[in-house]
Amino acid sequence: MKRIKKNWSVTLFVHLVLILLSFLCLFFFYVLIINATHSHADLQKGFSILPGSALLENLKNVANDGSFPMFKGIFNSVIISTSCAMICTYFSSLTAYGLYAYEFKAKKYAFTFIMAILVMPTQVTAMGFLRLITNMGMYDTFLPLVLPSIASPAVFYFMYSYLQSSLPLSLVEAARIDGSGEFRTFNKIVVPIMKPAIAVQAIFIFVGSWNNYFVPALILQSKNKMTVPILIAALRGADYMNFDMGKIYMMITVAIVPIIIAYLLLSKYIIAGVTLGGVKE
């Protein structure tokens, strides 16, 4: 009886903690959505727990603002973030598979070199990167924001660790014996096994690229090519006469919708694909 009471109390405590954490996570989304329904004048009076009546007005103000092309910025961010997620997860998985499945003399040195790049901050190489893309004629284009995602040491390490725990080399050897080519083996056998890891990293990369402000602000100059973080910063930096908090909250609210959609689309692969990594020797 004591053991049953103890287990019940532990379960109750865990549920209370989870409810509290869920409330803290969702409360900020609630505040954001509620503020997006209020006008600038209402927001100046303080926070209200009830929604306002300026939702359509704020949306119209953001959509019709010619100096800040919101929907074009969202489209640009979707293109860049989706391309980064696809390229980064595929090539990082391919690199991790190459180092995991093949034995060669420079294997340890290659792994160490990739890990050394991981500790190098982006800001250190920013000026050299800007000069390089300018000389290559890629300034004010999307290519410098997408192509570097091919080489991501952090994603490579995650994929490599996942392969170590989920992919037996005997499965690769069996595919080779059956006459399967290396790329066919990777695309048809390894990628399905790695689907949970790919889905997790795709979400992180999409969100990281979506929220990236430093590099796009350094490269992009045309208004029709700007991403969502740049447009939000531009709205926040507007002069006092044109400053509208309702418009800013609406912009942020609309900007998080693609992130939520991306998570909903990829989260099912995380759950459904867990059993794919359960292959044993």
Domain count, the chain: 2
Q: What is the residue range of 49's domain?
A: 4-10+15-55
77 and 43: one domain? no
Structural tokens at position 154: 């952090």
Which of 109, 210, 95 has the alpha carbon at shortest distance from 162? 95
Q: CA 199 to CA 90: how far, in whole Å?
A: 11
78 and 50: one domain? no
164 and 32: one domain? no
22 and 85: one domain? no
Long-range contacts of 125-134 (CB under 8 A, 24+ apart): 126/214, 126/215, 126/218, 130/218, 130/219, 133/219
46 and 65: one domain? no
171 and 273: one domain? yes
CATH number of the domain bearing residue 92: 1.10.3720.10
Which of 239, 236, 242, 245 has the alpha carbon at shortest distance from 43? 245
Please list, in sequence order, all residues whose beta carbon lies within 8 angstroms of the beta carbon of residue 59, skipping any fewer than 6 positions away: 250, 254
Q: What does pTM read for this prediction?
A: 0.80
Sign of CA dihedral 233, 235, 240, 244: negative
204 and 154: one domain? yes
30 and 114: one domain? no
Instruction: Please tell me the predicted confidence (pLDDT) of residue 279.
Output: 43
- Helices marked H in the chain — which ranges? 2-36, 40-45, 55-63, 70-101, 107-118, 126-135, 143-146, 153-166, 169-177, 182-185, 191-193, 195-211, 214-219, 228-236, 245-272
129 and 84: one domain? yes
Give CA 179 to chain center in angstroms: 37
* 274 DSSP assignment: G
217 and 249: one domain? yes
* 151 DSSP assignment: -
31 touches 237 (CB < 8 A) = no
How far CA 157 is from CA of 186, 194, 204, in Å, comes to: 17, 13, 14
Q: CA 187 to CA 82: how far, in whole Å?
A: 20
65 and 50: one domain? no
164 touches 103 (CB < 8 A) = no
Which pLDDT tens digits describe the chain residue by residue (281 residues)?
555 555 777 788 888 998 999 888 888 888 888 888 888 888 888 778 888 888 888 888 877 776 677 788 889 999 999 999 999 999 999 999 989 988 888 888 888 888 888 877 777 778 888 888 889 888 989 999 999 888 888 899 999 988 888 888 888 888 888 888 888 899 988 998 888 888 888 888 998 899 888 889 889 888 888 898 888 777 666 555 567 788 888 888 888 888 888 878 877 766 655 544 444 44
50 and 168: one domain? no
